Amino acid sequence: MRALTFLASRFVAGDAVDDAIGAVRALNADGLKATLDNLGEDSLTREQALAAAEENLAMLRRIADTGVDCNVSLKLTQIGLAIDPALARDNLTRIVEEAARLKNFVRVDMEGSAWTQKTLDLFYAVHDRYPNMGVVLQAYLRRTQADCRDAVARKARVRLCKGAYKEPADVAFPSKQDVNANYDKCAAILAGAPLPAFATHDDARIEAALKSCDAAGLVKSDYELQMLYGLRPKRWRELRGQGHTVRIYVPYGTHWFPYFYRRIRERKENLLFVARNMFE
Ligand SMILES: Cc1cc2nc3c(=O)[nH]c(=O)nc-3n(C[C@H](O)[C@H](O)[C@H](O)COP(=O)(O)OP(=O)(O)OC[C@H]3O[C@@H](n4cnc5c(N)ncnc54)[C@H](O)[C@@H]3O)c2cc1C
């Protein structure tokens, strides 16, 4: 178990919020922004959901106290969506209210397709009162161009990613090529939304998104490029050096296994890193 914990530490910034704040400080020193995620999904009881909400509130206060340049990302099933949508709404409202008081921002991550509509419904219900929040859309889903157009119309901030869950072919494009083409089309639509965030390690996708931003007349402070902690650190610094705003997603906490599993499943080099270290 300890060996696995060591391997996960490439992708996860530690068990406790202060471990993660330390990682964020190091990123900030290099001109990189961050978003903190307290790992966890699928809370099964109200107590777990409330504890997760409290952790997010504590995280926002710790960010304010330490003065790091960082916002917060969370998953709605972690704060109760699977138990009771009213509980999740109440928790999300409390978190976003506290973020507004502290002049910070909350990003709602997107989970598997069973949650897409429920996540968007709850996001927009709260967003109408608290614009200091954004959501994630996944380019592998067939519905996402329409969701991007809706986000533009509703002036919502969106992080665009490819999508990390195993999905059936009727809801998601099975081929990488189609996902990539859809990513570029969605990025072009989102160039019309406030502060779009393009989350990918794929240089061709970044290039296409930058072209769309340029064509829409955006300047470098009008969008963000985002990558995951532990993946392509050299590239973060190159992009920052070119004047782009770069934000790194920094997960922490003890419930790291599903996140770690998604990282090793999606890219063979991540799996090789794990295998190499197991034998050393
Ligand atoms: C900030 C952020 C937030 C995210 N939030 C969510 C979310 O809320 N919901 C969700 O479902 N998913 C989320 N994801 C995960 C995302 O959906 C993908 O699963 C993940 O980013 C892998 O896709 P990719 O776009 O990086 O490209 P891939 O298809 O994995 O890789 C494409 C190409 O990128 C290059 N590349 C990728 N990784 C590396 C590397 N380590 N070193 C060198 N080159 C590399 C290679 O050329 C590769 O062929 C998030 C990702 C990021 C970056």
pLDDT in tens, 166-222: 999 999 999 999 999 999 999 999 999 999 999 999 999 999 999 999 999 999 999
Cβ of 166 below 6 Å from ligand 1:
no
What is the structure's pLDDT at 275?
Answer: 63
Active site includes 159?
A: yes
* Token reading at 260: 């770690």
The CA-atom distances, in angstroms, between 280 and each of 9, 11, 198, 225, 274 are: 16, 19, 36, 34, 10
Element (DSSP H or E) covering residue 132: none
Residues 6+ apart with CB under 8 A from 131: 155
Judge whether residue 263 has pLDDT over 70.
yes
Residue 279: pLDDT band with limits 50, 70, 90: low
Judge whether residue 2 has pLDDT over 60.
no
Atom of ligand 1 nearest to the CA of 199: 53
**Active-site annotation holder among 157, 159, 205, 247:** 159
The pairing of strands 70-74 and 224-228 is: unpaired
What is the structure's pLDDT at 152?
Answer: 98
Q: How far is the CA of 167 from the centre of ligand 1 (A)?
A: 16
Q: Residues 148, 137: contact at Cβ < 8 Å?
A: yes
Q: Give CA–CA dist 157/163, Å, rounded.
A: 17
Question: Model's pTM, two decimal places?
Answer: 0.94
Q: What percent of the chain has pLDDT over 90?
A: 82
The CA-atom distances, in angstroms, between 147 and each of 116, 141, 151, 153, 158 are: 10, 10, 6, 10, 10
The partner residues of 34 in beta bridges, in order of sequence, read 70, 248
SS3 percent helix, strand, coil of the chain, rounded to 5, is 50, 15, 35
Sign of CA dihedral 120, 126, 130, 133: negative
Q: How far is the CA of 111 from the centre of ligand 1 (A)?
A: 15
* Probe target for ligand 1 pocket from 41, 200, 238, with the most ligand atoms within 8 Å of CB: 200
What is the structure's pLDDT at 1?
Answer: 45
Q: Does domain 2-279 have CATH number 3.90.79.10?
A: no
Q: Residues 96, 125: contact at Cβ < 8 Å?
A: no
Mean pLDDT of 139-153: 98
Q: How far is the CA of 266 from the centre of ligand 1 (A)?
A: 8
Q: Give the SS3 label for residue 50.
A: helix
Q: How far is the CA of 249 from the centre of ligand 1 (A)?
A: 11
The pairing of strands 224-228 and 197-199 is: parallel
Rounded to 5 degrees, what are φ and ψ at 137? Answer: -120, 150
Active site includes 121?
A: no
Q: Give CA–CA dist 278/115, Å, rounded.
A: 35
